[in-house]
Structure 1
Amino acid sequence: MTEELSFQGTADRLPPQNIEAEEAILGGIMLDPEAISRICDRLIPEAFYISAHKDIYQAALRLLSQSLPTDLLSVTSWLADHNLLDRIGGKNKLATLVDRTVSAVNIDSLAELVMDKYLRRQLIKAGNEIVHLGYETEKELPIVLDQAEQKVFQLSNQTITNNTEHNSTINIAAYEELDSDNPIYPTGLHELDNLMLGFEDGTLTIVGGRPSMGKSQISLFLALQMILLHNLPVVIFSLEMTKKQLEYRLWSLISVTNAYKHLDLIPLKSDRIRRHRSGNQPLEDWEFTSIAKIVGIASELPLYMNDSRGITVSGIASECRQIKAKEGKLGLVVVDYLQMMAEDSGGNRSYELGDVARGLYKMAGDLNVPVLALSQISRGVESRQNKRPMMSDLSQSGILEMVADNIILAYRDEYYNSDTEDQGILELIVAKSRHGDTGTATVFFDKSYGIIRNLG
């Protein structure tokens, strides 16, 4: 009796919902033309608690399917054309939604919140139906239990995509991929490609090294290679350098890249712009002429940069979804660097870094893009006679070793030994390659420009 009364006591409670979140989502959709593409694949119309909100969202989805804008005027016209405008509260209702919305920056988290409330309502509904099943004593118990299980399964299936397939399906898909447009993209560095083959969609590659080993320049070079060799867009999330600092390094790299040799560009050292801006060594007119050409080249590259210092993995994923929707494909995502993303939360840094690494690994799979993340190497390497890094030298290495598909460790002997015979030599030590071989790729590296070239 007590259990039944306790259950029935929930009948007078308001079902889980968040009206403010629903209003903010709809206002954001009409305010920002890109907003709906960020949530349409995971927020269903039925998730809205208010029926008018459901109608407005469905109108926006219909406009999106026709490649039409979802602004206030377009949504109003669509609802009016389908005799739904009065039902949702008229033009004033739509105008109020827009007026109350500042931006759509949080629309991803709001969509998750609305879906959470919806699924909780569905859980309550399933629970009530299971209670009624329990009273149907004329049915055999195995049948009742099976029907109850189906209701819970249907609900859980809405939150977790069914990714378990029979091998016959996987077998066919694997065979078809041989002729698909999802190849592995070589880096253009022959020795490195012989080991890890290249960048593959859905994988996480970590490049580790001590400070000043050139990790950022390596990642910028590989990003430009993805663009030049495969004509694919790239996005760089730089938590260490600003976008303009990264842009100046890009200019330097472009000035000595063979693909632009025919333009007779003047080599531009990485620190040249800084010297000019400080007044130490102003740019000459002939340098400005060359830089103008470089700016023209850079402006045409399908390259995106983000220097938000506090960005999270979910924020990176959201930005990547938008770029992918705009470009149709995303060739490489660069994150510089992992420890910066786990630095300021005040908890256990090992756990925080693990969460970041796992999040990027999951993002790579969800978005089906290759992710290149940079990582610091423990200073313990400095105390060894042989300072070449090992996989165990990665900061909080355990989780990184586990989630990464490829781990590349950067080493330049000239950094430690000024009289070394290996001047200008960069060793890319492939310490882990889940689908390739481990070993060392030796290349030429000019830190003054950030250029990397094959030897021989």
Structure 2
Amino acid sequence: MENFDSKTSTLLIEKYLPHNFLSEKVILGNLLISNEALDITLRTLSVEAFYFKNHQIIYQTICTLHNTKKLINLTTLTNYLQEQGLLEKIGGVTVLIELINQVPNLVNLEEYLSLIQDKFIRRTLIKLGYQIINSSYVTNISLEQIILDLESELVLIGKKTETNQVLSSAELLSNVIQELKDKSNNITLPGISSGFYDLDALTQGFQKSDLIITAGRPSMGKTAFCLNVATNILKKNKLPILFFSLEMSKEQLMYRLLASETNINSTRLRAGNIKQSEWDILNSTVKRFSRLPLFIDDTPNISIIEMRKKIKKIRFEQQKLGLIIIDYLQLMENSNKNENRVQELSQITRGLKNIAREFNVPVIVLSQLSRNVENRINKRPILSDLRESGSIEQDADLVLMLYRDEYYNVETAEPNITELIISKHRNGPIGTAKIFFEGEYTKFKNLN
């Protein structure tokens, strides 16, 4: 195969890229005589959406005049372009007069805007295609990185196809009022209930697109808690849940789930020491959970790229997705091996936040706490105890920390009580909720 000539390709695509000259002229002409057209266009089109360079300069100038609250008409536009030395660059006053001579038709404004945006997105896709071809020839860029960059670009392009992304304050307030009316007529939580009442009272449920960090020292019950949350959501909402288990195998998780649901001692269950009277309970539990959409992936050291592929597959098959759980953060790997661990985790947490936003679901990520906790008299964790805490703190919408006092103090006044300490809450209060822990069954329950 011959090498791809990037210079030749660039010239070719620049010459034949999709555009609509008339639509661009009509829109710019409307902007010079109509405030209504100006408001709609500024919310819809970026400067790059215009294909012709002189049209980009004119539109950018109109935006500048608007942002500085100056009058926009043929005279002010001409004067500004002349002052900036741009008038001849756009083709002179003749080009501006031609814009005014275009017959403006506000009735068809949306159609013209749609045409310009359509051509812009098509140009972007074409350029991305050539970018992929060129990147594929550069062998020192990993295949994973090329795919990751491609997916990121496609997500951005997808967002450009959404209409009315930028709203005025009046439109935003109208939407908020409608949302409040809907909520006032709906007694359910705005988010997905965890099944733990005191926790839901603080969080209002797990919100879509949120990155939720669930942290704790070893043996605090992080995995058991998240598995309990998953089963609560499955039983109540039947929403598909994808559980990435990087530490435990699928089989180990299933034993935990069965112990929790059947109240059969987890040690006896793993040993196969099951009483005759317990088989009916066990069989009915297996039958019930076989019908629920719980998906477990135990690929070790999984990367963000692999994870995204599997999420897409499950969402495509199930048509929806309710929750993603990852156990745990410090076992994940980044495709870029040249970074130090702090930078690597920073990239991973940013990637997980992007996944939460891209798929519009809560993402619960388990995380280890540093040993600093053990050196304090008060062992309750705080935000700075998160290992490599900077990026985790920054990207997380909710940080939930598990603490059991009896782990450190056998004479505790609250045996079998687990504190769920909310140490960061981007959209709500911080505080502590308490739940009951039955270690024998690796099961959490509400206190009441």
Q: TM-score range by the shorter chain?
A: 0.5 to 0.7
Which residue in 2 is equivalent to 1:258?
A: none
Cα distance in structure 1, aligned partners of 2:89 and 2:361: 54
Which residue in 2 is equivalent to 1:326?
A: 317
Cα distance in structure 1, aligned partners of 2:245 and 2:196: 24
1:186-201 alignment to 2 at 5 Å? 186-201=193-208
1:393 partnered with 2:389: no
1:290 partnered with 2:291: no
Which residue in 2 is equivalent to 1:428?
A: 420
1:202 maps to which of 193, 204, 209? 209
Cα distance in structure 2, aligned partners of 1:325 and 1:343: 25
1:83-232 alignment to 2 at 5 Å? 140=91, 155-156=123-124, 160=157, 161-162=159-160, 164-167=165-168, 168-178=170-180, 179=182, 183-232=190-239
1:319 to 1:419, Cα distance in 2 relative to 1, 3 A: same
Cα distance in structure 2, aligned partners of 1:302 and 1:422: 36
Deviations for 1:334-387, whole angstroms, at most 9, x for unmatched residues? 000000003894741111111111111111111111111100000111011111
Cα distance in structure 1, aligned partners of 2:343 and 2:252: 31
Tell me if the contact between 2:247 and 2:331 (Cα under 8 Å) persists in the aligned partners. Answer: yes
Which residue in 1 is equivalent to 2:407?
A: 415
Tell me if the contact between 1:251 and 1:298 (Cα under 8 Å) persists in the aligned partners. Answer: no
1:455 partnered with 2:411: no
Runs of 5+ consecutive residues of structure 1 not aligned to the other structure:
1-7, 17-45, 47-122, 256-266, 277-281
Alignment size in residue pairs? 319
1:337-376 alignment to 2 at 5 Å? 337-342=328-333, 345=337, 347-376=339-368
Which residue in 1 is equivalent to 2:396?
A: 404
1:301 to 1:432, Cα distance in 2 relative to 1, 3 A: same
Deviations for 1:112-153, whole angstroms, at most 9, x for unmatched residues? xxxxxxxxxxx9xx99x879x9xxx99716969x9xx99989
Tell me if the contact between 1:343 and 1:349 (Cα under 8 Å) persists in the aligned partners. Answer: no
* Equivalent position amino acid for 1:342 in 2: E
SS at match of 1:241: coil
Runs of 5+ consecutive residues of structure 2 not aligned to the other structure:
19-47, 57-87, 100-115, 126-153
Report percent identity of matched pairs.
36
1:156 to 1:448, Cα distance in 2 relative to 1, 3 A: same
Tell me if the contact between 1:408 and 1:432 (Cα under 8 Å) persists in the aligned partners. Answer: yes
* Equivalent position amino acid for 1:414 in 2: E
Q: Which is worse superposed, 305-314 or 208-217?
A: 305-314
Cα distance in structure 2, aligned partners of 1:348 and 1:12: 38
1:152 to 1:201, Cα distance in 2 relative to 1, 3 A: closer
1:140 to 1:12, Cα distance in 2 relative to 1, 3 A: closer
1:9 to 1:389, Cα distance in 2 relative to 1, 3 A: closer
1:15, CA displacement in angstroms? 8.1
The TM-score, its normalising length taken from structure 1, stands at 0.62
* Equivalent position amino acid for 1:195 in 2: L
Deviations for 1:177-205, whole angstroms, at most 9, x for unmatched residues? 45499931222212211211111111111
1:288 to 1:152, Cα distance in 2 relative to 1, 3 A: closer
1:204 to 1:254, Cα distance in 2 relative to 1, 3 A: same
Which residue in 1 is equivalent to 2:268?
A: 272
1:361 to 1:286, Cα distance in 2 relative to 1, 3 A: same
* Equivalent position amino acid for 1:417 in 2: N
Cα distance in structure 2, aligned partners of 1:426 and 1:347: 37
Cα distance in structure 1, aligned partners of 2:237 and 2:408: 36
Cα distance in structure 1, aligned partners of 2:248 and 2:378: 30
1:420, CA displacement in angstroms? 1.5
1:254 maps to which of 256, 261, 269? 261
* Equivalent position amino acid for 1:295 in 2: V
1:314 to 1:396, Cα distance in 2 relative to 1, 3 A: same
Tell me if the contact between 1:203 and 1:365 (Cα under 8 Å) persists in the aligned partners. Answer: yes
1:156 to 1:428, Cα distance in 2 relative to 1, 3 A: same
CA RMSD, aligned part only? 3.6
Tell me if the contact between 1:342 and 1:349 (Cα under 8 Å) persists in the aligned partners. Answer: no
1:196 to 1:287, Cα distance in 2 relative to 1, 3 A: same
Which residue in 1 is equivalent to 2:241?
A: 234
1:328, CA displacement in angstroms? 2.6
SS at match of 1:220: helix
Which residue in 2 is equivalent to 1:87?
A: none
Deviations for 1:407-432, whole angstroms, at most 9, x for unmatched residues? 00100011111222221000000001
1:309 partnered with 2:300: yes
Cα distance in structure 2, aligned partners of 1:271 and 1:208: 25
1:247, CA displacement in angstroms? 0.8
1:366 to 1:288, Cα distance in 2 relative to 1, 3 A: same
Deviations for 1:276-329, whole angstroms, at most 9, x for unmatched residues? 3xxxxx434444443222211221111111111132222222222222222232
Cα distance in structure 1, aligned partners of 2:215 and 2:7: 54
